[in-house]
Amino acid sequence: MTGFAAAGAAAPGAALSLELKSVNARFLELGIRLPDELRVLEAGARELLTARLARGKIELRVTLTRDTSAPDARLNPQALARLAAIGAEARTANPDAAPLGLGDILRWPGVIESADDSVERLRAPFEQALGQALDLLSQARLREGAALRAALLERCDGIDRILAELRTQVPAILAMLGRKLQERLTQALVPALSGSNHLSREELNDRIRQEVTLYGMRADVDEELQRLATHVAEVRRVLDAGGAVGRRLDFLMQELNREANTVGSKASAIEMTNAAVELKLLIEQMREQIQNLE
């Protein structure tokens, strides 16, 4: 599911800003980008994210801004030396490059530090900001989930309409096809076997009726229609129950598609073939939408 959230928190001598993005993915994929000073907090961030999210490609980006006006703010000599070495290397590779300005230097991560630069003083503000961002992201995903739920229920209604039409049409179709098959078998077999001493006319008619009955049984899709209706009812139940429903609905889409394929393979009239195609189209539309659900 998609979503975006931003949050911030104040910390002693610094300010934290977080951006949390979510895009569709079948499983949970985490991408966490933290400043070097906050790298030790990554494990805790992963725990918070996995506790609240179950699906999606999640990107967390954190920016730490030092307060240069804080009384205990000071320059980090090691960071300055490292930055000077990088600048010299860059000018060697590109002599025309402009030197770093004072603003560039002061914004470089780690250049400004405080007397008490322990990362532990940033842990609580960081977790507070991340919790706030997760709340906002969850709200965005809930809104998207409500829209997806409405779209899925609309397609469930479409499947129900097709099933209702098939229940009305199939008996008449099978009866018509049975009559045509009986007529053709009678026309083909009775004259050919009329002089045979092996079968009487009545026995031949009984054999034809048996073949017609077997054909009707093989072409009957009543069980498939019942299972389709059952699976659609389960989709509705799962959507009404809420929660993490993505993988459960994935399974139901597989079962719906299996039954629709069987209806298509048993199709004995153009009406049944068209219905099977429409069923598979609706099921595929649902399957694509479900990939976005948690």
pLDDT at residue 84, as a whole number: 78
Q: Are 15 and 67 in contact (CB under 8 A)?
A: yes
Strand intervals (E) in the chain = 3-11, 14-23, 28-33, 56-66, 73-75, 112-114
Q: How many domains does the chain divide into?
A: 2
Q: Is residue 267 part of a domain?
A: yes
Judgement on whether residues 183 and 249 belong to the same structural domain of the protein? yes
Judgement on whether residues 91 and 202 belong to the same structural domain of the protein? no
- Distance between terminal CA atoms of the chain? 7
pLDDT at residue 72, as a whole number: 55
Judgement on whether residues 88 and 196 belong to the same structural domain of the protein? no
Confidence tier at 46 by pLDDT (50, 70, 90):
very high
Question: Residue 192 carries which side chain, given as an amino acid letter?
Answer: A
Judgement on whether residues 97 and 178 belong to the same structural domain of the protein? no
Domain end point (choices 61, 89, 110)? 110
Strand intervals (E) in 145-290 = none
Q: Is residue 230 part of a domain?
A: yes
Lowest-confidence pick of 51-60, 101-110, 237-246, 281-290: 101-110
pLDDT at residue 294, as a whole number: 67
The answer to whether the pTM exceeds 0.75 is no
Q: Would the pLDDT of 40 be above 80? A: yes
Domain end point (choices 90, 110, 130)? 110
Q: Tell me the mean pLDDT in the region 265-293.
A: 84
d(CA 282, CA 215): 29
Judgement on whether residues 192 and 276 belong to the same structural domain of the protein? yes
Q: Is residue 92 part of a domain?
A: yes
Range of the domain at 101: 77-110
Q: Between 59 and 210, whose confidence is greater?
A: 59
pLDDT at residue 36, as a whole number: 77
Q: Is residue 89 part of a domain?
A: yes
Confidence tier at 182 by pLDDT (50, 70, 90):
low
User: Percent of the chain beyond pLDDT 70?
Assistant: 72
Tell me the per-residue pLDDT of 70-106, one tens digit each, with 9 for 90 and over.
555 566 677 777 777 877 787 788 877 777 776 666 6
d(CA 137, CA 54): 13
pLDDT at residue 203, as a whole number: 56
Q: Is residue 197 part of a domain?
A: yes
Q: Tell me the mean pLDDT in the region 1-7.
A: 84
Q: Would the pLDDT of 159 be above 90? A: yes
Q: Is residue 7 part of a domain?
A: no
Give the range with max mean pLDDT: 85-89, 234-238, 268-272: 234-238
Lowest-confidence pick of 91-95, 213-217, 262-266: 213-217
